[in-house]
Structure 1
Amino acid sequence: MELKGKIAVITGASSGIGALTAHLLGQRGAIPVLLARSEDKLRAAAERITGEYGLYRCDVSNSGEVEETIAKIIAKYGRIDILLNNAGFGRFADFIEMPVEEFGEMMNVNYMGVVRCTKAAVPHMLERGRGQIVNVASMAGKIGTARSAAYTASKHAVLGFTNALRQELRYSGITVSAVNPGPIETEFFKLADPSGDYIKNVGGFMMTPQYVAERIVKLIEKDKEELDLPRLAAAGIRLYGLFPRLADKLTYKMLNRK
């Protein structure tokens, strides 16, 4: 995909890989449209963007806000070429200790947020016969680990939704892509792992937000349908798919570091 002039809507764009991806897309001539709950943080993130951009305060857990925001974007720009569903959060805790309400909160933002934004944008893409939807899932969506049952379930849902929608829209001109990163050095862990223990345990596997954002932009440019990060983990995912129960036993100590 030639990015110059493309309208790229990015949720969770006030920090981390969302903000960095918006910056990189702007460098390539796209018009990033940043969405997040905090307008102040959005404005701070937008300071790095060169060229034209848009920003809208939007809570992806609120259907009314999502529909209203997408309608405003269509009214201003006339189209959405790229929808990057990046908004999400996680908390790590033993299943027995995590309240049921927190399962619902993660599912509402991480999964239903993707559904809401996609539902609002797809009719406009179908009308034009082209577009790309990029859903940021997680390695957790493919391999479950201890103390992340709620987060893992929400990302499993994102992947299932992405795979099914890809099949449904395969000949529509719309590409549906999934990005499945491992741990990234972002503010995500301030909430997910306040103790900092997990970050210490997986320091050697931690990716920089810049690296992940660059790979997301490449995925968009090449119209790829899936990206697993880091590369070593991608190989492990394939092995896990072939021998899931054996892989569970062999990788327990390495993966369960929360």
Structure 2
Amino acid sequence: MQASHEQSLTNSVVAITGASSGIGEAVAYEAARRGATLILMARSADKLTALAQDVTLLSGAPAYVVPVDVGDRAAIDDAVEQINTLTGRVDILLNAAGFGDFESIVDTDWAVVEKLFKVDVLGLMYFSRKIVSLMMVQGHGHILNVGSMAGKMPTPKSAYYSAAKAAVIQFTNVLRLELKPFGILATSINPGPVATNFFNIADKSGQYLNKVAAFTIDPGTLATKIVNAMGTTKREINAPFIMAVASVLYPLAPRIGDVIAGTFGNQK
């Protein structure tokens, strides 16, 4: 039975990029449990189809599969056309697609840097822009963008990823201000390390999650926080708590913060 404090998403259309794994997949299950109609987006049609079958059983509502590479602007245009045909509206958009790469500034392949910004930043911005146009017609909507604690606090071997996520956070902040007159909300989601396959690509050593186990977030727990925020005026989701506190203190004592980030934060 649904707990009394959980809002229902019945009759709400929730679109999720990066839905085939990680945070996006966890949110898909949680939103389905609350009755949402889902639009599932990622590159892998096979994974999305299997997920759609599972979440439909949970929600009793449709789950549509829209394969898309968010690093490709033309593919985003095609995806939005499909969404228009399938549902004609999006009430909530979660931009969860993205990847990271933990290498030093000079060792990171430049092609990886370009791809990182195309997917994590430009793709997120362009998808938001397209869906916002729909939401303005509707007179309501909510954009939730997955940033990162890396966008708030620097650590070694994350220069490009941190820069990308800082851009996501600031983009979301401006969305919140610009879109308020149109009844559209915007929330940034800034987690620390989440126990997902994100690190299969980002962490070539394979040891990072073990080193930061004390700060690692369960994706299901984070998904509950994200879905609880849908349709609310919550500005940010910052987790875990200790890193959320550190992100507030860092600008107040940046010299001390640099020492901590360069020692205790140097786990990659």
Q: TM-score, normalised by structure 1?
A: 0.96
Match runs of 1:156-175 below 5 Å? 156-175=166-185
Cα deviation 1:117-154 (Å, max 9, x = unaligned): 11111111011110000000000011111011111111
Question: C-alpha displacement at 1:97, in angstroms?
Answer: 0.9
Contact preservation (8 Å) 1:13, 1:36 = yes
Contact preservation (8 Å) 1:110, 1:155 = yes
1:44 partnered with 2:85: no
The separation in 2 between residues aligned to 1:92 and 1:15, in whole angstroms, is: 20
Question: C-alpha displacement at 1:255, in angstroms?
Answer: 1.2
Cα deviation 1:3-30 (Å, max 9, x = unaligned): 2110000000001111111111111111
Query: Match for residue 110 of structure 2?
Result: 100
1:239 partnered with 2:245: no
Query: Match for residue 190 of structure 2?
Result: 180
The separation in 1 between residues aligned to 2:144 and 2:239, in whole angstroms, is: 15
The separation in 2 between residues aligned to 1:171 and 1:225, in whole angstroms, is: 16
Query: Match for residue 162 of structure 2?
Result: 152
Among candidates 140, 155, 159, match of residue 150 of structure 2: 140
Query: Match for residue 35 of structure 2?
Result: 29
Secondary structure of the residue aligned to 1:232 is helix
Query: Match for residue 59 of structure 1?
Result: 69
Question: C-alpha displacement at 1:47, in angstroms?
Answer: 3.3
The separation in 2 between residues aligned to 1:172 and 1:31, in whole angstroms, is: 23
Match for 2:173: what amino acid?
A: N
Match for 2:15: what amino acid?
A: V
Among candidates 15, 36, 54, match of residue 9 of structure 1: 15
- Give the 3 Å change call, closer, same or farther, for CA 91–142 of structure 1 in structure 2: same
Match for 2:228: what amino acid?
A: K
The separation in 2 between residues aligned to 1:239 and 1:226, in whole angstroms, is: 16
Question: C-alpha displacement at 1:233, in angstroms?
Answer: 1.3
Match runs of 1:46-125 below 5 Å? 46-49=52-55, 50=58, 51=60, 52-125=62-135
Secondary structure of the residue aligned to 2:238 is strand
Question: C-alpha displacement at 1:2, in angstroms?
Answer: 4.7
Deviates more, 1:27-36 or 1:66-75: 66-75
Match for 1:256: what amino acid?
A: N
Contact preservation (8 Å) 1:177, 1:226 = yes
Contact preservation (8 Å) 1:3, 1:221 = no
Match for 1:21: what amino acid?
A: V
The separation in 1 between residues aligned to 2:113 and 2:163, in whole angstroms, is: 9
The separation in 2 between residues aligned to 1:28 and 1:200, in whole angstroms, is: 33
The separation in 2 between residues aligned to 1:53 and 1:99, in whole angstroms, is: 37
Contact preservation (8 Å) 1:2, 1:221 = no
The separation in 1 between residues aligned to 2:51 and 2:155, in whole angstroms, is: 32
RMSD: 1.3
Gaps of 5+ in 1: none
Cα deviation 1:171-210 (Å, max 9, x = unaligned): 2100011000000111001111132121221111111111
Any runs of at least 4 consecutive aligned residues in structure 1 with deviations exceeding 3 A, and if so which?
none
Among candidates 230, 240, 246, match of residue 230 of structure 1: 240
Cα deviation 1:65-104 (Å, max 9, x = unaligned): 1111112112221210001000000111111111222211
Q: TM-score, normalised by structure 2?
A: 0.92
* Aligned residue-pair number: 258
Cα deviation 1:201-227 (Å, max 9, x = unaligned): 111111111111111111115331211
Secondary structure of the residue aligned to 1:171 is helix
Query: Match for residue 199 of structure 1?
Result: 209
Gaps of 5+ in 2: 1-6
Contact preservation (8 Å) 2:92, 2:142 = yes
The separation in 2 between residues aligned to 1:254 and 1:218, in whole angstroms, is: 32
